[in-house]
Structure 1
């Protein structure tokens, strides 16, 4: 499992605004600038940081690999940033599933790679049907940060700082 497999990466982009999409049909997630109706997550990149999107589900980790263990849809990386992103388009029971998929992916990542080189480390649970920030249990936030050194957000806007 190579989280930096060039076959799963898109060319770097530095757009100030773009979307991350998942067609919910078993194909890999992708970025888009043309059709915001497809966006599940919106990336706000005012500093125009050069970001690489890597499709994790259905690419880095194939559908038939590690059955029973979740994986998030993708990640955005730069020299200073690593953002794990899970995309949902549903109303009920999505949050716990999304967070579990993110946590499983972070554990997969840490088995092969380190996070020390990244200054900004976040995991985003994004839902097209519930785009606004949702409060996360402070204990869960602390557990994530203590365990992985990663901050957890439940919102459909990925803000690059």
Structure 2
């Protein structure tokens, strides 16, 4: 399982603003710079850092692999940052499932790669129907960080760290 396999990556880019989409039709997640209404997550990259988007679900981990475990939709990486992203289009009862999928993906990632070189590690649960920040219980956030080494946010805006 190679999370850095170029077959699952889009070419590197430096867009200041773009979206991450998932058509929910069985295809893999992808980035977009044009169709704002299709964006589930909005990425703000004010410093225009070089980023690489990797499709995890349906590429790094195919549908027939690890059927009993969840996985998130995608990953953004730069020289010092790693962001895992789960995309949802639901009105209720979606947060726990999204956070669980992110946790499972972190376990897969750590089992196959040394990610200690990434200074910023965050996991985002993004929902098209609930784009504003959703508060996560401080205790859950702290437990998640202690267990996985990732900050977790429930919001549809991803701001790339300097």
**TM-score bracket for this pair, using the shorter chain length:** over 0.9
State the 4+ residue runs in structure 1 displaced beyond 2 angstroms: none
Separation in structure 2 between the aligned mates of residue 114 and residue 135 of structure 1, nearest angstrom: 30
CA deviation map 1:18-58 (0-9, x unaligned): 00000001110000001111100000000101000000000
State the Cα distance separating 1:127 from its structure 2 match.
0.1
Separation in structure 2 between the aligned mates of residue 108 and residue 123 of structure 1, nearest angstrom: 14
- 5+ residue gaps, structure 2, are none
CA-based RMSD: 0.6
Separation in structure 1 between the aligned mates of residue 71 and residue 96 of structure 2, nearest angstrom: 13
Separation in structure 1 between the aligned mates of residue 77 and residue 149 of structure 2, nearest angstrom: 16
State the Cα distance separating 1:115 from its structure 2 match.
2.2
Separation in structure 2 between the aligned mates of residue 43 and residue 143 of structure 1, nearest angstrom: 26
Separation in structure 1 between the aligned mates of residue 107 and residue 137 of structure 2, nearest angstrom: 20
Q: Work out the number of aligned pairs and report it.
A: 161
State the Cα distance separating 1:147 from its structure 2 match.
1.2
Instruction: Note if 1:81 corresponds to 2:81.
Output: yes
- 5+ residue gaps, structure 1, are none
Separation in structure 2 between the aligned mates of residue 38 and residue 7 of structure 1, nearest angstrom: 24
Separation in structure 2 between the aligned mates of residue 34 and residue 146 of structure 1, nearest angstrom: 38
Residue number in structure 2 paired with 1:100: 100
Separation in structure 1 between the aligned mates of residue 149 and residue 60 of structure 2, nearest angstrom: 22
Mapping of residues 21-32 of structure 1, within 5 Å? 21-32=21-32
Separation in structure 2 between the aligned mates of residue 99 and residue 25 of structure 1, nearest angstrom: 22
Mapping of residues 36-47 of structure 1, within 5 Å? 36-47=36-47
State the Cα distance separating 1:114 from its structure 2 match.
2.0
Residue number in structure 2 paired with 1:33: 33
TM-score (ref. length: structure 2): 0.98
